[in-house]
Amino acid sequence: MRRMTAALAGAAVTALVVPALVAAAPANAASGQATSRSAGATGKTDPVSALKRQFRTHHGVRLTEDAKIIGEGKQQRGILAHSEGVLEFAGNGVAASDLNSRFQLPVDDSKTKNMFAPSRTITVKGTSYTSGGAFGDILPEGKKWLRGSKEIALALANPTQKLLNPLEPATLKAALAHTTAKRPGGTWDGTRTVVHSGSMTLGELYRISPTVRTLLGAKPSAKSAPLVVTWQLYIGSDQLVRRAISSYTQSIRGLTSVDITYLNDSRYSDWGMRSAIKAPPASQVADFDELKIGEEANKDAYIELFKN
């Protein structure tokens, strides 16, 4: 059990240390419903066009997301991350985010507990600021936020870092083009939906998706490019995405004797809500070289966190 937990934690840490744009703030349900009615009133459209019409400055969408890393086999264990927040748009897509996240580990392990403490991450103009989480106890006195960088990404919010981002027009268009089945999806965010199901390879997603290119940092190898990512997109009557489920299974043999499945379930609501996300006050922000990593902290754990 301990070996499985360590493997899952290692897999989560590896996936966590990457840039992300995800969000959190109070949502305005009324404005979201008004936007949905307005979209429907303009006549039928396609999901990509409906998405692009949402890209207005200081407007956004509420995100509620559950992500799991699951170890398959006789001693199946999992790590669950729950995130809630707001994604704020500009003319080209998501421009800012504010996200609160918490984790649920399969067992109470004191060695990894601090790494998976609740956190809040704000991302503005490509820079992430994290409060709490793995670094909360080692910030300098008077500082509440740790600033991210290209070398050290701080979006410790989502252990799967979903490979299918339905808020990218090109990715959404490609996914829908790979639809192999449709069925009724029930009611989400007050609208009836249709589920579009399909799959794409990691190589295909890398060519299409800016999110995947950022996450991977380099073109996938010949061995990993054929990795299959399956997905389900719940499209509302106004053609906006209300739910996106994606998953893939990857072997990490050497850490454990079983494969690991990554599952992401994202729900989108209150489309068109007002949002004005700002960076934290500069006086409360610290950089990584200011952290107090010494005798009192588990220094090896933090070093391990950023190993490639």
Instruction: Spell out the per-residue pLDDT of the chain, length 308, in tens.
Output: 444 444 444 444 434 333 333 322 223 333 334 444 444 444 468 999 999 999 999 999 999 999 888 876 555 567 788 999 999 999 999 999 999 998 887 666 656 666 678 889 999 988 889 998 877 788 888 899 999 854 444 344 344 467 899 999 999 999 999 999 999 999 999 999 999 999 999 999 999 999 898 888 889 999 889 999 999 999 999 999 999 999 998 876 554 556 788 899 999 999 999 999 999 999 999 988 888 765 444 544 544 444 43
**Amino acid 214: pLDDT:** 83
Q: Which two tokens stand for residue 185?
A: 């999806």
Which are the contacts of 116, defined by CB distance < 8 A and separation ≥ 6? Answer: 9, 12, 79, 103, 105, 133, 134
- Looking at residue 197, its amino acid is S
**Amino acid 71: pLDDT:** 74
Compute the Cα dihedral for 76, 263, 200, 196 and give only its sign.
positive
**Amino acid 235: pLDDT:** 98
Quickly count: other Cβ atoms within 10 Å of residue 249's Cβ. 15
**Amino acid 260: pLDDT:** 82
**Amino acid 75: pLDDT:** 54
Partners of 268 in the beta sheet? 63
What pTM does this model have? 0.78
| Full strand arrangement of the beta sheet holding 145-147 | 179-188, 191-201, 228-236, 241-251, 259-274, 59-71, 77-90, 93-104, 119-124, 127-132, 145-147, 285-286
**Amino acid 77: pLDDT:** 62
Write down the residue that tokens 């209300």 correspond to: 242
**Amino acid 53: pLDDT:** 97
**Amino acid 254: pLDDT:** 53
Quickly count: other Cβ atoms within 10 Å of residue 308's Cβ. 5
Compute the Cα dihedral for 138, 140, 144, 149 and give only its sign.
negative
- Looking at residue 16, its amino acid is L
